[in-house]
Amino acid sequence: MARLLLERAHGSLRELASRPAAELMRTRGVGPVKAARLVAALELAARHQAEQRRAPPRIRQPEDVVAFLGPRLRDLTVEEFHVLALDSQSQVRRDVLVSRGLLNSALVHPREVFRAAIAEAAAGIIVAHNHPSGDPTPSPEDRAVTRQLVEAGRLLDLPVYDHVIVAGDRYLSFVAAGYL
């Protein structure tokens, strides 16, 4: 059936896609349902081809992290801990929600943080989380987790470039604050 359809369209998918469903139904074995599926599949393929691939966002400074994650994190009522897996050009390969916590804490283990980064073949990571309190000051637990992640990253040769805390419209970067 596929061979017949392509033969009638002179081997061209573009030409086949331009044919109306009624004409496709003239091919033996193609009824209204198959013709509709074929038209739909060809339309999806055309839209996919026409859609431009957007370059992933590039993270160069803490403000880029805030621009990327801030809209999702700033108004949450519980903490979320994210890992941004970056490629060698500092482009975000993947944003991974590692944990979602309680009002003022999120449990984070290096295993979960680096699992996603390794799976994405990341060159490095940036971790980020929110403080629902609106105060971006890092807690002792935030500092301890960051130290633990930096040490694990050194062992894995997968550097932690920064840890950004988003708190409402404010934020804190461990690198900019001199903590990392």
Q: What is the pLDDT of residues 120-171, one digit of tens each?
A: 999 999 999 999 999 999 999 999 999 999 999 999 999 999 999 999 999 9
Every domain of the chain and the residues it spans:
2-50, 62-173
How many alpha carbons lie under 13 Å from residue 54 in its C-beta half-sphere?
A: 5
Measured between alpha carbons, how far apart are the two ends of the chain, in Å? 63
What are the backbone dihedrals phi and psi of residue 83, each rounded to the nearest 5 degrees, phi first?
-120, 130
Top-tier CATH class for 62-173: alpha beta
Q: How many CB atoms lie within 10 A of CB 157?
A: 8
pTM for the full model?
Answer: 0.71
pLDDT in tens, 61-95: 999 999 999 999 999 999 999 999 999 999 999 99
